[in-house]
């Protein structure tokens, strides 16, 4: 009797300690590839790196990825930094902002409709106020409630900078007089440029072409930092092309 009880307890203990089982039907190659993909979490992994990590042949990796995708265990994601390279991620993760581009992108493509809406709201607010600050525009966009995410001051600055480059608005400094009487002297402000609002079709303009709009390090970029426009090879290349 004691022996039977001991065996039962031993079997129960082994059952409790048994690690989580893999999804049914996986072969060794699929299991190795799935573990490699899961280890990257929300960063995803390039197919070439999967091959290096697992040391499996191209044929085996490609066949296994198709099988894992069909079993809804992994998904292909768009990496805006390398759109030409296939990236995979486990289905339980959502792509990080560095991969997806954040709120400005939908399925790896710049959300031109959203940007146009925000630009129009900025113009409308500036026409009503005659002059506006970044904080004022930021507060206005949050108050409108047209977004399903919490827009940051940095993102508003990106929108305003794109409008300056597109000659929709101009950047000025407060003089403390007339229209600027409520704004501290020297504060950066924005006004609607003459001729702004002329129909330009659905073109988003410079925002869609400048590398800053898709840069995952834009929040770390400062005029005198390690990452800055002065040492950005992509920005300098864009200047050469555009101008």
Same-domain check for residues 30 and 77: yes
Residues 6+ apart with CB under 8 A from 191: 126, 130, 131, 132, 169, 170, 172
pTM assigned to the model: 0.50
Name the E strands within 29-71: 45-46
End position of a domain, from candidates 85, 100, 115: 100
Same-domain check for residues 203 and 214: no
End position of a domain, from candidates 100, 133, 165: 100
> For position 166, what pLDDT does the model report?
87
> For position 236, what pLDDT does the model report?
56
- Mean pLDDT of the region 45-68: 92
Same-domain check for residues 112 and 202: yes
- Does residue 67 register a pLDDT over 60? yes
> For position 228, what pLDDT does the model report?
63
Tell me whether residue 53 is in a domain: yes
- Does residue 94 register a pLDDT over 80? yes
> For position 132, what pLDDT does the model report?
94
Picking from 17-26, 101-110, 185-194, which range would have the lowest pLDDT averaged per residue? 17-26
Q: What is the mean pLDDT of the chain?
A: 77
Q: How many domains does the chain have?
A: 3
**Most confident residue range from 43-47, 83-87, 107-111, 220-224:** 43-47
Residue 173 phi/psi, 5-degree rounding, is: -110, 140
Alpha carbons 230 and 243: distance in angstroms, whole number: 16
Tell me whether residue 5 is in a domain: no
What is the domain extent for residue 59? 23-100
Same-domain check for residues 33 and 125: no
Picking from 67-76, 77-86, 125-134, 179-188, which range would have the lowest pLDDT averaged per residue? 77-86
Tell me whether residue 14 is in a domain: no
Alpha carbons 41 and 36: distance in angstroms, whole number: 10
Same-domain check for residues 79 and 108: no
147: domain CATH number is 1.10.10.10
- Does residue 92 register a pLDDT over 90? yes
């Amino acid at each position: 009797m004691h022996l039977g009880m001991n065996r039962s307890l031993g079997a129960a203990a082994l059952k409790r300690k048994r690690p989580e089982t893999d999804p049914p039907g996986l072969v060794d190659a699929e299991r190795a590839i799935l573990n490699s993909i899961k280890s990257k979490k929300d960063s995803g992994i390039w197919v070439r790196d999967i091959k290096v990590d697992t040391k499996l042949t191209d044929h085996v990796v490609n066949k296994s990825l198709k099988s894992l995708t069909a079993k809804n265990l992994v998904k292909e994601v768009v990496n805006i930094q390398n759109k030409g390279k296939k990236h995979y991620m486990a289905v339980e993760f959502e792509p990080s902002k560095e991969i997806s581009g954040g709120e400005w992108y939908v399925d790896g493509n710049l959300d031109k409709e959203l940007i146009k809406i925000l630009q129009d709201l900025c113009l409308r607010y500036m026409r009503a106020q005659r002059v506006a600050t970044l904080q004022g525009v930021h507060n206005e966009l949050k108050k409108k409630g047209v977004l399903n995410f919490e827009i940051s001051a940095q993102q508003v600055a990106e929108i305003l900078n794109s409008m300056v480059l597109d000659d929709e608005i101009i950047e000025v400094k407060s003089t403390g007089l007339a229209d600027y009487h409520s704004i501290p002297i020297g504060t950066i402000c924005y006004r609607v440029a003459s001729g702004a609002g002329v129909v330009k079709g659905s073109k988003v303009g410079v925002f869609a072409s400048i590398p800053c709009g898709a840069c995952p390090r834009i929040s770390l970029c400062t005029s005198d930092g390690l990452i800055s426009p002065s040492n950005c090879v992509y920005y300098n290349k864009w200047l050469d092309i555009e101008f």
